[in-house]
Amino acid sequence: MAQRAVLAFGVDVGSTNTKFAAVRIDEGAVVELAASSAPTPADVPALETLLDVGLRALVAAVGRPDVVGIASMAESGVALGDDGVALTPILRWDGAVDRDAVRDALDGDDPALLYALTGISASSKVPLVLWAQLRRSRPGLRMRSWLGMADLVAFALSGRAVTDHTLALRSMAVRRPATLPLGQPRFDAALLARVGLTPAQLPEIVAPGGWGSAAVTGAGAPGGLPAGIPVVVAGHDHLVAAWGCGARAAGDVVDSFGTSEALVRLVRGPGIPADAFAEGMSAGIDITGRFTTLLSGSASAGRAVAAVAARPGAQLADLRRSISPAPTDPRPADEIVLPYLFGRQSPAPDPTARARIIGGQEGSPGDSSRLLPGILDGVALHAAWALRALDGATEGDAPGRDAPDRDARDQGPGRDRPERGTARDDIVVACGPDARGPALLLRKAAAFGRGVRVPDVDEPVACSAALLAAHRALGAPAHVLPLGPSVRATPSAEAAYAAALDRFIAAASTRAGAGTPERTT
């Protein structure tokens, strides 16, 4: 007997925008029915208002959902008092912290040793460091609890403080497991003691298979939702997108592109490759709890594109219109921009890295139409560099047959080793509608030397959160989001970008003023 269709809502609390999506899931497919987006607010009351408005709009469009899933960036959050009222505005991952806060989090440990313990490098964006900064800047703060952004939305809907393992593992306050599949993760009391917190002040971590009755909507829930609807913290936005786009087995890679960008690769076993720390990668556990995840990317990729695209005179048509699946022949711009607004996270971490122009004539370009191709090339080449670093760190763990412990309900792509140049060798780029036109995607195809595909939905993270929530709480099929056609560059374009990548890496690895033909934008 066929299972009835499930209507699921997804919420993606992003660094720049919060997205809402409604999807229908049945035995045949998952379909996006409605989607919307609005700027992410700076405080909790405004976020709760946005949540109410966004959910009511979905209900008006498609009806009441069977389940709600929430994804978010992992590092931003808010301190709550005894009455559940916010004591702080939303504290963002890209805010300023002082070096003393990083030292507090390290507590005298070698950074490499703490990385091996947690999979996370101490930096200004890590929650453990953010909590140290909060302790230093507001020593009298009587914080009852801390909630990350997805946790905060779940709390508003259900009144329960719960989180997902993919978010908890990003905090630098959870020890990596010794074995996989993942058991029941917990916040570590000794790590939290460094910053004056206890596990009781953080949300309950729900294991991957424990979401059936973990949280449900309460009376008076935002959006006018009735009581009793399951609420699922789907997890870290990049990992939720990777799962939704079909990363379900060791070796699979997805490029998750938003304000920040992460190339996500799944790796067998709980160990971290030896080169990962030096390359600035973070290590976590995938959505299913069965694979290690390695992330390499850029904290400001989408923001760098948006900064240029917003300038007067920028030509945005090629950013937004759809592309033909026929091979095309892009070429690198004469002037390529290193796309680093506030340092480089991975590969080759460099907190001093900034946006610089390489190549071309000296002097600042006079208009954005000249600068936009260079920043798009820079973003595409950085992503190719991140992929190269992941390939080097995980050599020998290429896609193969199904892992023995793979969930039979996961209906991802076939698992035979993909042949070069086939659709199964493609990189899926999980991005919103403003980044899926030819201007960026064709450059990525050329820089990767592989085909690219994009999800055929407007909001891939929100849709993935809805899909995952339905799968976890209701046992709905774990479909992969529908994907558009494979897009490839010509061999000559791939060769041109391969040469440009070598120049790009050499320039990015050399600081400005060290004899390279570069200038600051």
Using the predicted structure, report yes or no on whether residue 363 has a pLDDT greater than 70. no
- 173 or 407: whose pLDDT is higher? 173
In 3D space, the residue among 503, 7, 496, 461 whose CA is nearest the CA of residue 264 turns out to be 461
Tell me the two tokens of residue 269: 């076993």
Q: Compute the average pLDDT of residues 221-232.
A: 97
Indicate the burial class of 513 (C-beta count within 10 angstroms; 0-12, 13-18, 19 or more): exposed
Which pLDDT band, with edges at 50, 70 and 90, does 322 fall under? low
Which pLDDT band, with edges at 50, 70 and 90, does 213 fall under? confident
The region of weakest confidence among 11-25, 68-82, 429-443 is: 429-443
Which pLDDT band, with edges at 50, 70 and 90, does 300 fall under? confident
Which residue's entry shows tokens 């290590």? 283
User: Using alpha carbons only, what angle is made at residue 36 by residues 33 and 42, rounded to the nearest 5 degrees?
Assistant: 150
Indicate the SS3 state at residue 34.
strand
pLDDT at 279: 96
Integer Cα distance of 50 and 73 in angstroms: 17
The region of weakest confidence among 66-80, 224-238, 361-375, 383-397 is: 361-375
- 198 or 394: whose pLDDT is higher? 198
Integer Cα distance of 390 and 176 in angstroms: 20
Domains of the chain, CATH where assigned: 6-245 (3.30.420.40), 300-384+490-520 (no CATH)
In 3D space, the residue among 358, 303, 305, 346 whose CA is nearest the CA of residue 512 turns out to be 358
Indicate the burial class of 351 (C-beta count within 10 angstroms; 0-12, 13-18, 19 or more): exposed
pLDDT at 212: 84
| % helix, strand, coil for the chain, step of 5 | 30, 20, 50
Say how many C-beta atoms besides its own lie within 10 A of residue 213's C-beta: 8
- Does the global pTM surpass 0.85? yes
In 3D space, the residue among 348, 341, 387, 351 whose CA is nearest the CA of residue 520 turns out to be 341
Quote the crossing angle between the two packed helices 368-393 and 301-309, to the nearest 10°: 170
Q: Compute the average pLDDT of residues 255-269.
A: 95
Q: Compute the average pLDDT of residues 300-309.
A: 77
> Residue 392 CA to chain centroid, in angstroms?
21
Furthest CA-CA distance within the chain: 70
Integer Cα distance of 168 and 180 in angstroms: 17
CA dihedral in degrees (115, 120, 123, 125; nearest 10)? -170
pLDDT at 417: 38
pLDDT at 316: 54
Tell me the two tokens of residue 234: 């789907």
Question: What pLDDT, in 10s, does the model give residues 7-27?
Answer: 999 999 998 999 999 999 999
